[in-house]
């Protein structure tokens, strides 16, 4: 009888041991089969906690945080609200940047325009130039770092549930594009360094290349060309090697009245 029961008891014992081990090593097993799911659930718990703490402001609510009646000073940038009371010397009533308080005037961070404030357009940033979007991004990093984040403004960037709006996604896509363009332009500046530039009333603009122009030491001088950068309607003067003069990698143009193989050119700006 006992001999008959032995293998069954052995199997049950094994199942129990495996069960205990699975319990102890559950997080590792889960991580092994589901990748980083353990971290992700922790992250989302953290996010949920943050979401519970942050407040959603209406425009009218935000406007009340203007330092009056013992209220703190809040401002919004790209729909995110910060407590700037610590910087009261800049933002307090009568101070230089009080304009930003109680509203989202993101565009004015770029234009510096505080007088012609158009309600409803002050946070409409999609038509800004790529470099300006990067500028705004820097301002946002500044506020995230230096001031306390208080919540989100319901409107252009966040909906009533505090979720990103379609507009916000468009802004983020343009920002990514601006970052890519900047990286590409930086690489191009390595390959096609800036010329030296000077201006005088009688001769106009004078551009010329040397072995160190554009702050880039090299063993070649190069020939000045107008180089049109991505995302920039203006051109810059770049020094090109002889073998790059017919490049199609970038849009280039010769200076008028300048010898193609001269290291310097003069031109008048109309």
Residues 73, 236: Cα–Cα separation, whole Å: 42
- Considering the complex, state which of residue 32 and residue 89 has its C-beta at the smaller distance from ligand HEM: 89
Which member of 87, 92, 162, 231 binds ligand HEM (CB under 6 A)?
Answer: 87
CA quadruple 80, 75, 105, 170: dihedral, nearest 10: 0
Q: In whole angstroms, what is the distance from residue 78 CA to residue 86 CA? A: 20
Nearest residue (CB) to ligand HEM, 51 versus 85: 85
Q: Which of residues 112 and 215 has its CB atom nearest to ligand HEM in the complex?
A: 112
Spatial distance between the Cα atoms of 121 and 227, rounded to a whole number of angstroms: 34
Instruction: Examine residue 97 and tell whether it contacts ligand HEM (CB under 6 A).
Output: yes
The answer to whether residue 206 forms part of the interface with ligand HEM (CB under 6 A) is: no
182 near ligand HEM, judged by CB under 6 A: no
Nearest approach, Cβ of 139 to ligand HEM (angstroms)?
8
Question: Which residues, including other chains, have CB under 8 Å from residue 152's CB and lie 6 or more apart?
Answer: 54, 55, 56, 57, 79, 80, 81, 158, 162
Cβ proximity to ligand HEM: between 86 and 189 the closer is 86
Give the residue closest to ligand HEM by C-beta.
112
Site membership for ligand HEM, residue 135 (CB under 6 A): no
Chain-centre distance of CA 61, in angstroms? 27
Within 110-129, the residues that bind ligand HEM by CB under 6 A are 112
* Residues contacting residue 1 through CB under 8 Å, at least 6 positions apart: none
Please give the residue ranges that form the binding site for ligand HEM (CB under 6 A).
Answer: 87, 90, 97, 109, 112
């Amino acid at each position: 009888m006992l001999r008959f029961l032995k293998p069954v008891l052995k199997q049950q014992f094994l199942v129990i041991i495996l069960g205990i081990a699975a319990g102890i090593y559950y997080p590792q097993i889960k991580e092994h089969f589901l990748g980083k799911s353990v971290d992700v659930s922790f992250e989302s718990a953290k996010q949920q906690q943050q979401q519970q703490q942050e407040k959603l402001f209406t425009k009218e609510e935000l406007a009340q945080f203007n330092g009056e009646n013992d209220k703190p000073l809040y401002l919004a940038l790209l729909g995110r609200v910060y407590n700037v009371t610590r910087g009261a010397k800049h933002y307090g009533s009568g101070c230089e940047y009080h304009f930003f308080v109680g509203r989202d005037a993101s565009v004015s961070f770029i234009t510096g325009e505080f007088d012609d404030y158009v309600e409803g357009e002050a946070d409409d940033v999609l038509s800004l130039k790529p470099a300006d979007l990067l500028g705004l991004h820097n301002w946002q990093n500044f506020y995230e770092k230096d001031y306390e984040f208080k919540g989100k403004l319901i409107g252009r960037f966040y909906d009533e549930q505090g979720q990103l709006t379609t507009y916000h996604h468009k802004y983020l896509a343009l920002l990514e594009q601006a970052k890519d363009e900047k990286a590409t332009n930086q690489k191009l500046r390595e390959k096609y360094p800036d010329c030296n530039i000077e201006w005088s009333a009688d001769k106009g603009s004078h551009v010329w290349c040397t072995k160190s122009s554009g702050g880039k030491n090299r063993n070649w001088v190069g020939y000045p060309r107008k180089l049109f950068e991505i995302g920039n309607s203006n051109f810059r003067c770049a020094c090109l090697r002889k073998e790059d003069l017919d490049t199609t990698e970038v849009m280039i143009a010769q200076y008028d009245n300048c010898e193609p193989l001269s290291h310097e050119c003069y031109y008048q700006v109309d």
